[in-house]
Structure formats: structure tokens, C-alpha cells
Structure 1
Amino acid sequence: MPNEQKRFYGRIGLALIFVAVLSAFFAIGGNQWLSLEFIKENRDRLLAFTEQNYALMLFASAFAYLASTAFSIPGGVILSLAMGLLFGRWLGTLVTVIASTVGALLVFLAARFIFADFARAKLSQSPMAAKIVEGFQNDAFRYLLFLRLVPLVPFWLVNLAPTVTNISARTYFLATAIGVIPGSFVYVNLGQALGEISNIEDILSPEVILSFTLLGLLIVLPALLRRNDTGPRRKT
């Protein structure tokens, strides 16, 4: 079988797996499990089960987070809160960062090498995506780091947009790993006080968004200043 044909069947097979997982997730009501109400209602049960099966829950939670990111299943904030509730701020943050980074890398590789055409078609329909892709042309690392820090751009969109640029997998991995640390810590830390959170909007307050935005600007500002300094100057 020619390599081109193998690649075609590989794309079809992976696409079917992707669709099957998402369909199964919603068919069994998985979206209800990834809700703030479900976590709060089952808080005591989850804590008790984790205490009795700590290692099992740790690996299961990490895998669930990785899978949700890899298959672009909404619910990352809820899972981060759950990590804080079950494992505390430090271990919870560590597991969240590793799982979300690896999951995002899997999406990146799949979209670039398997779903490249689909990703381009999908992103071409979004004006926001077009602007994001354009931003990668100058300093891909800093730009991706900025997008990871600022919680205004959907996580799945930031995962897909770089696939149609020339950013390397290594740069993508490093920028993602660093960029998700502040947000992960905030959400995981809030998870320890889950009973006091009544709505997801309580987490992403204007103050929190502003803080992340300023942090992101500190990351990209040096690159912007360098770009202006090295740009063409008019003769006087």
C-alpha cells in the first residue's frame, strides 16, 4: 500500500476515533459530570474515595485531564478545581500543568500531521483565528506564551491555531508548559475552597483577567520594543 494511501487511511481512522470519543462522552452525559454543581454535590464522596484510593485517583484524574484536553472536551476549569479539591494546590497544580501540556501537544501533533487541512479550513472561518495565526510570524514563543496566559482566547483555539504556522513542537511544548502555570495555580488553589464558589464567572472576574493580561503583556512587550528598534528608520 502506497504511503499516501496509508496516510489517508490513518487520517480517516484518527478522525473516526476523535468523533467516536466525543460522541460517547456526550451520549453518556459526560458534560454533566464536568460541571461545578456535580463536583460540589459529590464533594464528600470524591474526597473519601480519593483518601482510600489515592494513587488510583491521582493517575485517573491526570488521565481524565489529559484526555479532555487532547479531545478538546470542554471542562478544563472544572477539572482544575477538582484537582485542587482532591490533591491540594501544589500537587494539583503539577498534575494539571503536566496533563494539560501533554494533552495540548497531542492535539497540536494530530492537527498538524493528520488534520492539517481540516484545521486550516476550521481556522479560516474565524477572524479571531486569522489574527492569532498572523501573530505567530514574528516571535512564536512569546506570542504563544501570551495567548496561554490571557484567559480571553479559548484554549482549544490556541491549541489549533499554531498548527498552520511553522512553530516547532518543542517551542509549542515549552511555551504551553510555562504559560499554563499561572492559570492552573489560580484555578487549583480556588478548588480548595470549592464550597465558596457558586458560579464559574466568579473565578474569571475582571480583576483576574486583567492580572493575566498584564502578565502576558510583560512577556511580549520586550519583543515588541525590539521589533520597533530594529525596524527601518527614516533618514533625516
Structure 2
Amino acid sequence: MAKKRREISETDGLSPVETDVKSGDRDSKLLKEAQHSIGGSTRMSLLILASIFACSAFVMYLVYRNFPELSDDEMQKIKIPKDMDDAKALGTVLSKYKDTFYTQVLVAYFATYIFLQTFAIPGSIFLSILSGYLYPFPLALFLVCLCSGLGASFCYMLSYLVGRPVVYKYLTERAQKWSQQVDKHRDHLINYIIFLRITPFLPNWFINITSPVINVPLGVFFVGTFLGVAPPSFVAINAGTTLYKLTTAGEAVSWNSLAVLGILAVLSILPVCFQKKLQQKLE
């Protein structure tokens, strides 16, 4: 009440125009303070994120320190693949040591895949293809699905801890639109997440970052991701069995595989459609 009386007293004796100017100045000041607060939160979030990234990179360094001793030529090939040539070179080195140092190679692959997924770094598609070359198909599929699920969940948790100011500042409009879609599918959210993972309608990094902001439960997020990445991973892993015949990542996807992915995407959403029709009939 005292604050309100002070505000009234500040405008007493002023003309309507002067009162509007006074109120406008106050609103502008509040807006600037809010923007400054968001900017400060964004800077702090980015600082925390950079610290977490540095710690994770150090863990990756320790993982590769435990790797078998490599020649200088082999060391140059141990890097995150950016194209199919890098993937082939990496596959040559890993296949050479996979049988003798099975655990070290597996841990290095597992850690690298999760690291890329956690920080939304491109390159995991080449690791998916590479898994089909290195491991039996069932193990490769489980490994890729698990790494994708865990990595995406870690990215989710990072966004939950420090990513909200970044989303509010840079992705507000897109996040609001997706939030409206999620609200429409709350009753069958797992099917919706599976559908999104199979189809290219939304980038995976966007789904990972915005899901905690729009209140997608972590358990639903992990299960939907684990199951949803299986069909695309099936295609990539199958292509990995003929790794050295590929020249680009695009060759891993044929028209037949696209048709299969389309069918699986439709199947993932069919239970939802049947449920809605059943509810309409019962009503």
C-alpha cells in the first residue's frame, strides 16, 4: 500500500501526457532491468556450460590415455569423423585393435558417442555407421540406441540446469510452438517422441534442449529416444557393414530405407489415432 501511495504521489499534479511519460519511463526501466537480468543469467549459464564441457573433455582425454599405444599415422586418424573418409580411417585403426583391446575400444566408442550427443556436436551419424562395421548387428543396435538415449538425456539435464535462459533468449518462439504441440500429445507422449525421432520434422538438438523447458518428463524422454532412434540406427548400422563402399553419409540412406522409416513413423503414431477414434465413439 505504501508503494502504491508513493506511485500515486509521483503522478499527482501532472497532466495526462506527463503521467503517461512518467509511466512509460518506469516500464522502460523495468524492461531494461528484466533484459539485464536475463542477459546476466545467460552469461552465467554459458560459463557453467563451458566448465562442464571442459570437465567432460578432460574425462575424454583420460579415456584415450588408456588406449593402446598408437603410431603417429594412427594417432592422426583418431579423431571425431567429419565425413566418410574420416570414418573409414577411424574404422581402420579401431578394427585393428578391437579384438586385442576390446574393452578399451568399446569404452572409447561409448564415451565419444555420449560426449557428442550431450553437447550436440555433429559426428554421431558416422559413429552409428562405424558401429555396424566394428560389432555384430544386435550389439551395434543396442549400443547406438543406449548411447543416443543417454547422451540425449544428459543434454536434457544440462538444459534443465543451465539452458533455460538460453532457450528463453534465442529459441522462445520455436519453443512456444513446440510446447503447444506437446500439450496436444500429453496423453501419448512416448509415441510422439518416437515419431519425432524417426522423422526429420524437428532437429534432435532442438528436442534435447527444449524438452525440459516445456516439461517433457525425463523418463518419457529417455524411453521415447531409445526406441525412436532404433529405426534410423538400423539403416546406418546396416550401411556400416559395407563401410568401405560408401563415399558419403547420404549413401547410407536409400529410397527403400526411407520407405521403411516412413512406415515405422506411421506405425508409431497409429495407436494414438486408434485411441482418439475409440474415445470419440465411446463419447
Equivalent pairs, count:
223
Q: Quick one: which of 220, 236, 239 aligns to 1:171? A: 220
Kindly indicate whether residue 242 of structure 2 is the aligned counterpart of residue 193 of structure 1: yes
The structural deviation recorded for 1:203 is: 2.0
Paired residue for 1:226? Answer: 275
Q: Deviations over 1:119-157 (max 9, x none)?
A: 23333354xx55433221123221111011224532212
Q: Structure 2-normalised TM-score?
A: 0.67
Note closer, same or farther for the CA distance 1:61–1:23 as it changes in structure 2 (3 Å cut). Answer: closer
Which residue matches 1:4? none
Q: Amino acid of the residue matched to residue 15 of structure 1?
A: L
- String of CA shifts for 1:18-48, please: whole Å, max 9, x gaps: 66589999xx999863321112245433311
2:261 paired residue number: 212
Residue 133 of structure 1 is matched in structure 2 by: 179
Letter in 1 for 2:267: L
- 2:155 matched to 1:121? no
Do the aligned partners of 1:97 and 1:181 also contact (CA within 8 Å) in 2? Answer: yes
Q: Which residue of 90, 93, 96 maps to 1:45? A: 93
C-alpha distance 31-153 of structure 1, shift in aligned 2 (>3 A): farther
Question: For residues 74 and 22 of structure 1, do their structure 2 counterparts lie closer, same or farther at Cα, with a shift above 3 Å needed?
Answer: farther
The Cα shift of 1:49 comes to 2.0
Aligned to 1:3: none
Cα pair 1:150 1:209 within 8 Å, conserved? no
Q: Structure 1 residue 160: deviation in Å?
A: 2.1
Q: Which has the larger radius of gyration?
A: 2
* Structure 1 position 226, deviation (Å): 3.0
- Report if aligned partners of 1:93, 1:185 keep a CA contact under 8 Å in 2: yes
SS at match of 2:99: helix
Q: Secondary structure at the match of 2:229?
A: helix
Supply the distance in 2 between the matched residues of 1:31 and 1:156 (Cα, whole angstroms). Answer: 22
What one-letter code is carried by the residue in structure 1 that aligns with 2:178? I
What is the alpha-carbon distance in structure 2 between the residues aligned to residue 142 and residue 121 of structure 1? Answer: 29
Match of 1:63 among 111, 114, 117: 111
Amino acid at match of 2:181: G
Amino acid across the alignment from 1:49: Y
Name the CA distance, whole Å, in 1 between partners of 2:54 and 2:176. Answer: 29
Residue segments in structure 2 that go unaligned for 5+ positions in a row? 1-40, 61-75
1:203 has 2:237 as partner: no
Distance 1:55 1:22, change over 3 A: closer
Partner of 1:16: 50
Structure 2 vs 1, CA of residues 227 and 165 (structure 1 numbering), >3 Å: closer, same or farther?
A: farther
Query: Does residue 105 of structure 1 match 2:153?
Result: yes
RMSD: 3.4
Partner Cα separation in structure 1 for residue 90 and residue 156 of structure 2: 34
CA distance in 2 between partners of 1:20 and 1:32 (Å): 17
Question: What are the superposed Cα offsets for residues 154-199 of structure 1, whole Å, 9 maximum, x if unpaired?
Answer: 2212212322222211111111111112222221221121012122
Rounded to whole Å, the distance in 2 between the matches of 1:121 and 1:29 is 39
CA distance in 2, matches of 1:132, 1:29: 40
What does the per-residue CA deviation read over 1:76-133, in whole Å, with 9 as the maximum and x for residues that have no partner? Answer: 110101111122312222211111111100111111232112123333354xx55433
SS of 2:264's equivalent in the other structure is helix
**Counterparts of 1:29 and 1:170 in 2: how far apart (Å)?**
37
Pair 12,131 (structure 1): closer, same or farther in 2 beyond 3 Å: closer
